[in-house]
Amino acid sequence: MATQSPSSSASKAELDSASSPDNINLRLILVSGKTKEFLFASNVSAQEITQFVFDNWPQEWEEERVGSSSLLKLIYHGRFLHGSVTLSALSLPAGKTTVMHLVTRENLPEPNSGDNLKKAKRSACCRCCLS
């Protein structure tokens, strides 16, 4: 699944994935600007990543710790990643470092919420003409 570095807290599956050439190195950036790199197998989902980071919260991020992994969301190329999206679905290059933002948010915006906002603004107009 993922590794920070081999340690007693890493599971066998995490250590096995460390030797795979399909691993993806993620550099996660907090809103505060603090960063940390993690190594994940390409078949892990965004939800599994946030759960792993929550369970293995870096010491240097202690001030930003949250109460639940469900509050953590990943942003890639300006878009929130829903929990079921895998790294392989994003076509991330194996063996290279990919940067994502890790933010705290209770829920994700609905898809196309920007379009709904535009429609709401248009329909709010009474379409009367003042001269």
**Does pTM surpass 0.85?**
no
| Average pLDDT value over all residues in the chain | 79
- Domain span at 63: 2-123
Contact 50, 69 (CB under 8 A): yes
> Does residue 131 belong to any structural domain of this protein?
no
Rounded Cα–Cα distance for residues 26 and 7 (Å): 18
> So what's the pLDDT on residue 109?
63
Q: At 5, is the pLDDT very low, low, confident or very high (cuts 50, 70, 90)?
A: very low
CA pseudo-torsion sign 35, 49, 63, 107: positive
The DSSP call for residue 71 is G
Residue 6 has pLDDT above 70, yes or no: no
**Residue 88 pLDDT greater than 70, yes or no:** yes
Are the beta carbons of 94 and 42 closer than 8 angstroms?
yes
pLDDT on residue 94: 82
Q: How confident is the model at residue 93 (pLDDT cuts 50, 70, 90)?
A: confident
Closest by CA position to 34, among listed 70, 75, 62: 62
Q: What is the CATH number of the domain that holds 51?
A: 3.10.20.90
Residue 128 lies in a domain: no
Residue 55 within any structural domain of the chain: yes
Count up the domains in the chain and report the number: 1
Condensed to tens digits (0 to 9), the pLDDT of residues 102-130 reads 999 876 666 665 555 555 555 555 555 55
Distance CA 118, CA 131 (A): 26
